[in-house]
Amino acid sequence: MRWYLTGVVVSGFGTTAMWLVSGIWVKSLTGSDSLAALAAFALWAPVLLGPLLGTLADRVRRRPLLVVLDLAAAALLPVLLWVDSADRVWLLFAVLVVYGAQGAVHEAAEQALVATALDEKRLGTLNGLRMTANESTKLIAPLVAAGLFAAYGGGTVALLDAASFTLAAGLFALMPVREERPARPESRHWWRETTEGARLLRASPVLRPLVATGAFTMLLAGVNGAAIYAVVDRGLGHAPAYAGVLYAVQGAGSVLAGLVTGPLLRRIPERSLAAAGLGLFAVAMGVRALPYEATALAASAAIGLGLPWVLVAVVTAVQREAPPEAVGRVAATAHTLVMAPNALALALGAGLVALVDVRVLLPLLALAGTGWAAVVAGRGRCGPDRETRTRDASVPVG
């Protein structure tokens, strides 16, 4: 899967750059913290249609789908060269919405491809490496993006992202994976196929609590993300571009998280890893409210370490539990349930930041997060799910 991981790095670099710059771009053109936060909401909003979009990943071969999606994104992004004033910000928001829809289908296709092409015992390791590959781009991409934006404007970053998608499409096309054409379903009714993913997810005692924990974590993460510019501006007294430094430090934490996730998942169940990740993330979010640069950097690193553990735990469990012919739909449904609260919280957070001081808002959310993590960890100590005990029975515990 070296081709796959290389493609993840390349496309992730451009996506991270564009994600960061979209908020800075809006902030620079309009001067509004709330509109800057809404740029991230535009990227996440299509997640609400994830189950419907993810059905496509079970209808066609996944590798060609990834190639087509990346080429389409590369063709779309140059449109942003026309965004050079506040009255054209609407065009940036429109492109971000389409960009988010492409990402929803891409995520489902990736998970389905990995689940069907890789041995089940290696899923946790690969997902950890994928997280490391993807998040490692945050070590460089935010700094590069902020520098390019400061020197040449947002259009240059959009072209960089388009180039990264083009290269990723070539890498996915060269990936040596044999795929059978998906079997034709008995019913070609799109909605019935879509709801099958939700039914399978609801019926699984392993996936239900994990997806709920992931959803709550991303709810907190959405408000935390919406507050980033207020933390940088009001708390630390820096220009908006300093957010790139915090995201770079967060990326370093995520790189470490991905490297240790595989070994951890060979020793503990996904639920325990998710509880640990949520607890660490929540504490770091509360610390971020302190008006000190050192604590802000430390909190960003801890957020980068804890948040991926929750997401990798959910992804790995979905790939192990879902039937091969329905991985795309189950993955897309889980992705929507986990990420939709993030999209809604970004919009909610944009308003909360204007009304509530972040020194009060973030500690309150941290208390809620640590409480949820304690409940999940307590249930895990009462005994793992029957499926988890069976699956991990042959794994030695260190």
pLDDT tens-digit map of 324-377: 777 888 888 888 888 878 767 877 777 777 778 778 888 888 999 999 999 888
pLDDT computed for residue 381 by the predictor: 54
Of 124, 34, 19, the closest CA to residue 353 belongs to 34
With vertex at residue 276, the alpha carbon angle to CA 261 and CA 105, rounded to the nearest 5 degrees, is 60
User: For a pLDDT cut of 70, what percent of the chain falls above it?
Assistant: 92
Provide the pLDDT confidence category of residue 284 given band limits of 50, 70 and 90. very high
pLDDT computed for residue 383 by the predictor: 45
Of 225, 204, 227, the closest CA to residue 326 belongs to 204
pLDDT computed for residue 386 by the predictor: 38
pLDDT computed for residue 254 by the predictor: 82
Two tokens at 129?
A: 């490496």
Domain ranges within the chain, ordered by starting residue: 2-175+204-391
Please give the Cα distance from 284 to 299 (Å, whole number): 5
User: For a pLDDT cut of 90, what percent of the chain falls above it?
Assistant: 21
pLDDT digits (tens, 9 = 90+) for 48-95: 777 787 787 777 788 899 999 999 999 999 999 998 888 899 999 999
With vertex at residue 179, the alpha carbon angle to CA 105 and CA 12, rounded to the nearest 5 degrees, is 40
Kindly tell me if the per-residue pLDDT of 25 is higher than 80.
yes
Helix-, strand-, coil-residue percentages of the chain, each rounded to 5: 85, 0, 15
Q: Which amino acid is at 380?
A: G
Lowest mean pLDDT among 167-181, 273-287, 335-349, 370-384: 370-384
Domain 2-175+204-391 CATH (choose: 2.30.40.10, 3.40.50.11810, 3.40.50.170, 1.20.1250.20): 1.20.1250.20
Q: What is the chain's mean pLDDT, rounded?
A: 82
Question: Mean pLDDT throughout 130-147?
Answer: 79
pLDDT computed for residue 187 by the predictor: 55
Question: Mean pLDDT throughout 16-44?
Answer: 84
pLDDT computed for residue 159 by the predictor: 94
Kindly tell me if the per-residue pLDDT of 389 is higher than 50.
no
pLDDT computed for residue 33 by the predictor: 77
* Whole-number Cα distances in Å, 331 to 54, 187, 269: 8, 20, 19
Question: Mean pLDDT throughout 120-135?
Answer: 79
pLDDT computed for residue 184 by the predictor: 61
Cα-Cα-Cα-Cα torsion 226, 96, 13, 16, nearest 10 degrees, comes to 0
Question: Mean pLDDT throughout 157-163?
Answer: 94
Kindly tell me if the per-residue pLDDT of 385 is higher than 70.
no
pLDDT greater at residue 131 or residue 173: 173
Provide the pLDDT confidence category of residue 391 given band limits of 50, 70 and 90. very low
Q: Would you tell me how many other CB atoms lie within 10 Å of the CB of residue 26?
A: 28
* Whole-number Cα distances in Å, 365 to 117, 158, 171, 226, 289: 39, 34, 41, 13, 11
pLDDT computed for residue 111 by the predictor: 82
